[in-house]
Amino acid sequence: MRILGFALAAFLICPALAFAEPADRALAIEYLKIAKFEEVLSSTIKQYDSQLFKDAKPEDRAKFREILESTMSWDATKDQLADLVLGLYTKEELEAYIKFSKSPIGSSFNNKSSEFATRYASLAGANLQSALQKCVKQSK
């Protein structure tokens, strides 16, 4: 009886979770596009390339860039990203975000996402370089 009462209480307390409609892949991809994930990924790859491989020989740098593109680009990750979106957000949440993104404030916010990603990638790349240099020093 106690278990039944708990289940009923949980059901009544969390109706949004109980009735949340799952999103579909097309909606997830639309969210990713509106949120400018393709630009974010492109910017991240560019920053990693310029920071991590700037001193590499051109032919080596091209190979490294190809590896980054084949593992981190939009084409390489969009299905994985869509799966993440589908595992986290409901249809209602995605529709609300998309509606917000099409508003003037939402559009402005999303336009700044690429710049934020560029700055973050630069910061992350610098931190990674620092960590690698520390690893090299400790291994000597």
Supply the pTM of this predicted model.
0.68
Distance of CA 99 to the CA centre of its chain: 19
Q: What is the pLDDT of residue 118?
A: 78
**Which residues does 6 contact at the CB level (< 8 Å), separation at least 6?**
none
Question: Which DSSP string corresponds to 51-68?
Answer: HHSTTS-HHHHHHHHHHH
The predicted-structure confidence for 54-102, as pLDDT tens digits, reads as follows: 889 999 999 999 999 999 999 999 999 999 999 999 999 999 999 999 9
Q: 110 pLDDT band (50/70/90 cuts)?
A: confident
Q: Please give the span between the terminal C-alpha atoms of the chain, in angstroms, as a whole number.
A: 66
